[in-house]
Structure 1
Amino acid sequence: MCGRYASARKRHDLLEEFEVELDSAEELEPDYNVAPTKEVYAVLSRVPKVEGATRPVRQLRVLRWGLVPSWAKDPSIGSKMINARVETVADKPAFRRAFASRRCLLPADGYYEWMPTEQKRKQPYFIHRADGDVLAMAGLYEFWKDPEDDWLVTCTVITTTAEDELGHIHDRTPMLIQRDRWSQWLDPRFPDPKELLVPATGRGLVATPVSTAVNNVRNNGPELIEAVEAPLDL
């Protein structure tokens, strides 16, 4: 699964990186310990609600991590919907409507996974691109209206089976969308979204052992992604 990640890039950098046409996001503080229910940046494509608009426009928005289906009775279900499995995302009731036309990209500097050790503890790893480039995690977003008619917009990260290079740390990994496929993934009118589901790729990624300080969601800062010496019993 993907239960924590880092997202420290500035809003204006993401606007340029993802060639955003419409900026609808407020500035978020750099977050090196993004956890479920936090607000996160998301890139998506929608037809703006303005007169004469007919085509989807790429936008940057702030969403809450943990998808709340439109039919949910209350938003608490979102804490259980932080990930959607690629194997079932097109058919599972909680995700299939969003998968059909509400796909997004969740920018990340990297994500964390925990590897069991022989001493019955887990060593956290920060998995990121070797060149420092941004990761575009495949996601979905959904709208939910509360009893006061206020809208909550939430998201989830799609996960897939990890390749051997990363699978020894954890058997699941976020599905990453390569730059040349961003437009197709974001296109809400793409005719057959199942064609967009691709196998995991660990190419260009490295796993760096980091401090167990990341285990506590209250800890935050660039020191969380700094390398530490891996334990010998791995």
Structure 2
Amino acid sequence: MCGRYALTAMPDEILNFVSVADFEEDFPARFNIAPTQPILVVMASERRQPGSNLPQRRAFLARWGLIPGWVKDPKDFPLLINARAETAVGKASFKAAMRHRRILVPATGFYEWRRPPRESGVQPQAYWIRPKQGGVIAFAGLMETWSSADGSDVDTAAIMTTPANAALRQVHDRMPVVIAPEDFERWLECKTQEPRDVADLMRAADEDFFEAVPVSDLVNKVSNMGPDLQKPVAVAVPEEKPPKRDTDSQMSLF
């Protein structure tokens, strides 16, 4: 699952990374992006690159939480912030987007929580998971435009996830799908690349791609939005309880 992420690079760095030249809106660094908020997404456009048959890319803002076009009332529909890579192509909520509206979601990392068993008494530990080399990355995503009864349109999006690699499995069993820059064109090209043609891209990142940094529980609150969310903290080691003495097994002297 991916329920929080960050995008803190400079706008020029982000747009250069995804090869978008005509996004005029300015956007600040965001350290705690949460579901239902607007997120920056990138998709192929109908226009072609000058001197090439390759489609240009356009960036725009979409609501994080995909709403399929056939939904009548979003209030009666679950919040779809993630789409499982293993099942998205066959799910009614995602299969149209998988075929026609694949997107990139720029990020500089994401947050995840390691949740010990409740009976352990240990509190969940938040982690800031970032690329070891730094910089911007791109999650695989899906997009749908939902039309309300009053005729207004809302662009909505979900981030694709896959089973976590061995390095991150100790934190959580799933992670976002990361699309490498050399695969951007293939992922975004929905006219010639069917879902089966890009299935190989929907996999976990290499074991050494990310590092997991323990951080405080400040990230738990959406209202906390500063860089201190990513400040490393020491992970508390739970105290070992002495084994319970089995008095029933002791022999009585009387």
The yes-or-no answer on 1:218 pairing with 2:223 is: yes
Residue aligning to 1:83: 82
AA partner of residue 60 (structure 2): R
Residue aligning to 2:238: 233
For 2:163 and 2:126, locate their aligned partners in 1 and report how far apart those are by CA, in whole Å.
19
Question: Offset of 1:29 from its aligned partner?
Answer: 2.6
Q: Is the 8 A contact 2:122 2:238 kept in 1?
A: no
1:15 match: secondary structure: helix
Max Rg structure: 2
How many correspondences in the alignment?
229
Question: Offset of 1:123 from its aligned partner?
Answer: 0.4
Question: Offset of 1:79 from its aligned partner?
Answer: 5.7
For 1:138 and 1:130, locate their aligned partners in 2 and report how far apart those are by CA, in whole Å.
19
Question: Offset of 1:131 from its aligned partner?
Answer: 1.3
AA partner of residue 103 (structure 1): R
Consecutive unaligned residues in structure 1, runs of 5 or more: 49-53
2:229 match: secondary structure: helix
**Range moving further from structure 2, 14-23 or 129-138:** 14-23
Q: Is the 8 A contact 1:37 1:78 kept in 2?
A: no
Residue aligning to 1:174: 176
AA partner of residue 59 (structure 1): R
Tell me the TM-score normalized by structure 1.
Answer: 0.91
The yes-or-no answer on 1:203 pairing with 2:205 is: no
For 1:77 and 1:174, locate their aligned partners in 2 and report how far apart those are by CA, in whole Å.
26
Q: Is the 8 A contact 2:187 2:193 kept in 1?
A: no
Tell me the TM-score normalized by structure 2.
Answer: 0.84
1:80 match: secondary structure: coil
User: Counterparts in 2 of 1:74-153, with a 5 A limit?
Assistant: 74-76=73-75, 80-117=79-116, 118-153=120-155
AA partner of residue 176 (structure 1): V
Alpha-carbon RMSD across the aligned residues, in angstroms, is: 2.0
**Range moving further from structure 2, 78-87 or 36-45:** 78-87
Residue aligning to 2:246: none
Q: Is the 8 A contact 1:56 1:188 kept in 2?
A: no
User: Counterparts in 2 of 1:182-201, with a 5 A limit?
Assistant: 182-197=184-199, 198-201=202-205
Question: Offset of 1:78 from its aligned partner?
Answer: 6.8
AA partner of residue 65 (structure 2): G
For 1:194 and 1:126, locate their aligned partners in 2 and report how far apart those are by CA, in whole Å.
32
For 1:129 and 1:78, locate their aligned partners in 2 and report how far apart those are by CA, in whole Å.
34
Q: Deviations over 1:171-208 (max 9, x none)?
A: 01001111111110011213322232332024321000
For 2:106 and 2:223, locate their aligned partners in 1 and report how far apart those are by CA, in whole Å.
21
Residue aligning to 1:14: 14
For 1:63 and 1:78, locate their aligned partners in 2 and report how far apart those are by CA, in whole Å.
18
Question: Offset of 1:15 from its aligned partner?
Answer: 1.5
AA partner of residue 206 (structure 1): E
1:165 match: secondary structure: coil
